[in-house]
Amino acid sequence: MEMSDVSTQPSPGGPGSIVSNPGSRPKRQFADQIRSFADRTPEGYLVPGRHFGPLSELLDTYPQQNGPNTGTGQISASSPSLSQGPGNLHVAFRPIYLVHPENDSVSNPFHHVAINIRDELDQILSQRQNLGPNSNLLVFLHGWQSPTSLRLLGTYCGLDPEMFRCHLSFLASTKLFDQPPLPSQQLSIWRIRTVTICEFRLPGDALDAEELERRRQSAQRDVQRYLQRLGSTTDEGTPIIRHYSVIDSTTSVLEQDISFCVSKKDDGWIGTIWTDSGFPLECDKALVQRTESANGQAERQESYVPLVLHRPKIAISPPELPASPPPATSSQPHTPFYRATLPPYPNFFYLASQYGSSLDPNLARRDALYAFSELISMAASSEHQLLNLLKYHIDIALHRFQGIENWSLAHLKHLTTLVERAIDESKRVVYLLENEGYTQWPSAHKDRAAVIRAGSNLRSGGSGGIGNGPSESRNPIDMHDTRERTRKLLLDDYRSILHRAQSIKKAVDSGMAVITTEIRMQEARRSTEQAHKIGRITVLAYFFLPLSFVTSIYGMNFIEFKDDNMWKGIAAYVGTTVGILIPSMVLCFWKAAWSRGSQRDESGREGGQS
């Protein structure tokens, strides 16, 4: 797909237009309304707004600027593994993309606009004020966004501030225990998880069990510290990391979210998609401040396992897409550049710049769920890939636990937490897809009459909205069937993921029960061996304790062994020993002998009666 040049000249003002002044009334009104609601206290209102306090504080933050573009989309030179300048140019990153379907080209069905400078965002959005009938615009946000961009997009897109608040819930310093919300309250703002598998090349030996367990325990604390460092001074496009799990010494799992919603705009609609994936970053180095030398860090190379999408004949007919994002829309020297080798590119790095390769643009302009289906499908593929990884490590742990039972049990418990999280995420997405009909999103299923009218206009060469030119004819019934088939396939995929995760969970529980039983049997065997050893020591004690007692008596010079009375002394010793040993043996074995005698008597009586 080719990137069209976009003029950055501001459009004439009009009703509802957004002017390019950062302090304009519409943009400030968005933040003012949120602040007004956040000031509501439980003492005076049934519905207080305390939970919007962190978002209100963020939107009221203004960066210190020396120029119109300073601090907007730049990456500082001190950022890890990042550099600026054409000498290390590999790919330029833009934190915001505008994507809308076209119907004037079969080979390039989607039009993409990459935005790097906030002034450009203001101007471009001003030119996209009016959306015609059956038209849409997809706005992609990558990573952390500046307060100015959030105010601008919130105003232009008519967004529910709840989307920003839920996506930035980690900003709250106090827990309100409101996340996740009730299922019915998630239908307007969807949030799905994406998973990235990280691999490492260790310079030396693998981590031992103690060091691996230490890193596992500190992983989430490192994530919390990383999220606390995100703020108004953070570079736009910085990745947001929700969870980071260490599988073994060479594998870890990175979890991120994608939030998306739909808002009406004029006669069309806008889909806002905010993904945590940002510019390339080595998560391990970003999360953990290690004490080893810089050379040691450089040798421990990190890479991402690519996300594999199983599409029909993709190797024969791959999408006609560029290998890198399009050129910047401005000549300003503030575009971040990245080296060709480090750091690695995350799986969703090209989500916005190459979005829509598997979608029908005509249907994507009319149906929101279908327009979002590609990213939902990619998220499902990442979940399935995670289950394959967990199944691989679980099978190894269940078949090689002999001799390391305690470590295998702890390892399986750690993997179980990942499986349980996959179950929870899959259940939530299944609910959303099952109840998608209750959303207020534009849908080819809800308004088939509009789809038929749109299909008639398309066949007659009609147009409307952004980039609506001539299009190939398409049966409106086929559009409806395609939409329903897409929804059903997505639902089946997540149901399959849910059922597979549940079966893996059962297998892990059974395996852990086997290992626990083996540990108990080993403890029982050790206890039995100890009992036998104690029994032998007890038998020896029957003899040596009386002898020791007698020896201690004669050690007090009770009688002396001399030449003239040697045999008398020995006789006294033997007599004393026997006199003490016999009562001792009687006391020790009397109960057992009496029990055996009682049993013989009872057996004799039973035999006589028979």
Give 237-256 as a 3 state SS string.
CCCCCCEEEEEECCEEEEEE
Query: Are 325 and 347 found together in one domain?
Result: yes
pLDDT digits (tens, 9 = 90+) for 212-252: 888 888 888 899 888 888 875 678 888 999 999 999 888 99
Q: Residue 153: pLDDT above 60?
A: yes
**Poorest-pLDDT segment among 378-387, 405-414, 427-436, 493-502:** 405-414
Query: Are 585 and 462 found together in one domain?
Result: no
Q: Are 247 and 114 spatial neighbours (Cβ–Cβ below 8 Å)?
A: no
Query: Are 568 and 473 found together in one domain?
Result: no
pLDDT digits (tens, 9 = 90+) for 265-278: 777 889 999 999 88
CA distances from 505 to 418, 420, 508 (A): 10, 7, 5
Give the model's confidence band at 203: pLDDT under 50 very low, under 70 low, under 90 confident, else very high: low
Beta strands in 343-500 (DSSP E): none
Q: What is the pTM of this model?
A: 0.75
Domain boundary among 487, 519, 551: 519
Phi, psi of 384 (to 5 degrees): -65, -40
Token pair for 401: 């636990």
At position 559, the amino acid (one-letter code) is I
Q: Which residues pair with 248 in a beta bridge?
A: 251
Q: Residue 498: pLDDT above 70?
A: yes
**Poorest-pLDDT segment among 242-251, 323-332, 399-408, 599-608:** 323-332
Q: Residue 67: pLDDT above 90?
A: no
- Sign (positive or negative) of CA dihedral 544, 549, 554, 555: positive
Average pLDDT over residues 527-555: 72
Phi, psi of 121 (to 5 degrees): -60, -45
First to last CA, the chain: 101
Average pLDDT over residues 543-548: 70
Query: Are 506 and 533 found together in one domain?
Result: no
| Residue written as token pair 């791959």 | 318
Helix, strand or coil, per DSSP, at residue 509: helix
> Nearest Cα to 383, choosing from 341, 412, 336, 418?
418
Domain boundaries, position 601: 526-609
Percentage of the chain lying above the pLDDT 70 cut: 65
Query: Are 588 and 492 found together in one domain?
Result: no
For β-strands 136-142 and 268-275, DSSP reports them as parallel
State the pLDDT at residue 485.
Answer: 93
Query: Are 428 and 561 found together in one domain?
Result: no
Token pair for 232: 């108004």
Domain boundary among 494, 519, 544: 519
Q: Count Cβ atoms within 10 A of the Cβ of residue 465 and give its class: 0-12 exposed, 13-18 middle, 19 or more buried.
A: buried
Query: Are 475 and 549 found together in one domain?
Result: no
Query: What is the rounded distance in angstroms from the CA atom of residue 87 to the CA atom of residue 339?
Result: 9
pLDDT digits (tens, 9 = 90+) for 405-439: 788 898 999 999 999 999 999 999 999 999 998 88
Average pLDDT over residues 85-104: 57
State the pLDDT at residue 446.
Answer: 66
The mean pLDDT value of the chain amounts to 74
Q: Are 88 and 337 spatial neighbours (Cβ–Cβ below 8 Å)?
A: yes
Domain boundary among 467, 496, 519: 519
Q: What's the total number of domains in the chain?
A: 2
Instruction: Report the range out of 16-20, 284-288, 387-391 with the highest average pLDDT.
Output: 387-391
Q: Is residue 367 part of a domain?
A: yes
Query: What is the rounded distance in angstroms from the CA atom of residue 416 to the CA atom of residue 359?
Result: 36
Query: What is the rounded distance in angstroms from the CA atom of residue 458 to the CA atom of residue 475?
Result: 10
> Nearest Cα to 59, choosing from 146, 187, 129?
146
For β-strands 243-248 and 136-142, DSSP reports them as unpaired
pLDDT digits (tens, 9 = 90+) for 336-361: 444 444 556 777 888 888 888 888 88
Query: Are 272 and 339 found together in one domain?
Result: yes
State the pLDDT at residue 299.
Answer: 53
Average pLDDT over residues 462-485: 57
